[in-house]
Amino acid sequence: MHDALDASTFGVLPDWMLRRRESLALVHEGASRTMRVRILRGAHEVGGNCVEVEHDGARVILDLGWPLTVEHDVDLPLPSVTGLANDDDPSLLGIVLTHPHFDHYGLLAKMPRSVRVYMGEAASRILREGAFFTPTGIDITPAGFLRHRHSLSLGPFEITAYLNDHSAFDAYSLLVEAGGRKLFYTGDLRAHGRKASLFEELVRRPPAGVNVLLMEGTHIRQDADGTERGPTEQGVEEACIETCRTAPGMVLAMYSPQNIDRLVTLYRATIRAERMSPDFGKRRILDQPSLFPYEACWSWSPRRELRLHPWLSLSSSISGP
């Protein structure tokens, strides 16, 4: 462990910490103890996120992911965290998952079921449905659920979830507070999806008094010149409309079934391109109530009317962007 950093370094992650994955101590002037942060995986690779936070002898883990560069059949060990493999250390209070992407939860299957896990409720349902179809899914019973701008108390930690815009449904950023200090862990987020208003809300109403920002940078590269721009979800919709209008035969789409935004995009594109009527599409979905993973994001009324999760809207502004 390194000595506590001077307060002038708060708000940035120094190069030595990213290179060596050592700990950053957040010091509260006048406090008797510190909050320490250790990046276990994810600093030198895309995915595999795992961050340990400690205060006053208590610890929580933020994400427990599988690196995207490692094949799924590799016997990848758990990070070296006391109590993670055997649940034999009560100081480990639990694992908090930001979202249901394999590079953020993929090592859960290797740990004892007695270790407490916290995540979004819809995210847990998506993973449970996925377990039937793929070995990367997992059926677990979380000890608690994350909710937008609601706090979760774990020992000395106060953890507040911020719903964000991401291709994974029910994804969160996390504000971790302990010992008078605040760490904000963004998880995966973007500002060009169907929930871009959540990013705008975060910018407009950010958590106050954050001492350290731990932010992922999948697309941040040393050789980037600032002009790189990926397509927005609206841009994808327009491209799908063009394909639907010009393709002479059947149009097939291949995408991650966890990407609910993309389902909405494809549905809207088929309607706007007059490839499918809204009523026909709804009937086809209603005829298959076990369709993975979308039943994790809707509920059923006694009249079998489709009631989508409030973050989803298949029919709003369907006639235009």
For the chain, give every domain's residue range: 7-214, 233-308
pLDDT of residue 319: 37
Residues paired with residue 151 on neighbouring β-strands, in sequence order? 160
Look up the pTM and report it: 0.79
7-214 placed in CATH 3.60.15.10: yes
Assign 3-state DSSP to the chain and report helix, strand, coil percentages, each to 5: 25, 20, 55
pLDDT of residue 236: 94
Coil, strand, or helix at residue 224?
coil
CB burial readout 43-76, b (16+ within 10 A) else e: eeeebbbbbbbbbbebbbbbbbbbbeeeeeeeeb
pLDDT of residue 52: 95
Is the distance from CB of 172 to CB of 162 less than 8 angstroms? yes
pLDDT of residue 291: 46
Cα distance between residue 267 and residue 264, in whole Å: 5
Cα distance between residue 255 and residue 128, in whole Å: 19
Local structure of residue 3 (DSSP, 8 states) = P
pLDDT in tens, the chain (321 residues): 233 323 333 334 434 334 434 455 655 444 436 889 999 887 777 788 999 999 999 999 999 999 888 888 888 889 988 898 888 899 999 999 999 998 999 999 898 889 999 999 999 998 998 888 888 888 989 999 999 999 999 999 999 999 999 988 899 999 999 999 999 999 998 889 999 999 999 999 999 999 999 987 777 777 777 777 778 999 999 999 999 999 988 888 888 877 888 888 988 898 899 887 444 444 444 444 444 444 545 443 333 333 444 444 443 333 333
Is the distance from CB of 120 to CB of 145 less than 8 angstroms? yes
